[in-house]
Structure 1
Amino acid sequence: MSTCSRCGASFGCAMADGLDAPCWCVALPPVVAVPGVDASCWCPACLARHIASQQSSPVLPASD
């Protein structure tokens, strides 16, 4: 079991648990990296909320 570095919830991670199957997170859109220095995974709820918040934020065009 892994522990979410954001909320502290326990969750299963196929990579951390050494399973021979893809992790649940590969089913989510790869739109953003988990922010911060902490390289630990987030639980399904925290990662889904973070992705949703990034997708609902307007993307501003780059300025020259």
Structure 2
Amino acid sequence: MDRYTLLRELADSWVLLSLVLFFVGSCVFALRPGTRALHRDAAESIFRNETRPVETGEKEAE
């Protein structure tokens, strides 16, 4: 058996299986129960400490 055939069989079976398991595990980790507050905090973090928008012509570091 040459190298190409061996690597192709490996990629068709075990590597594909491991990548599918990694993808499913990543989805389960991201969507696990109890992380809604963490996701909401991350989504709203760009709006933190902002009392009003910067007007045009106004310096931001005043």
Settle same-fold status: TM greater than 0.5: no
Which TM-score applies when normalising by structure 1? Answer: 0.29
Q: Larger RCO: Structure 1 or Structure 2 (Cα < 8 Å, ≥ 6 residues apart)? A: 1
Which TM-score applies when normalising by structure 2? Answer: 0.29
Whichever structure has more helix as a proportion of its residues is 2
Whichever structure has more strand as a proportion of its residues is 1
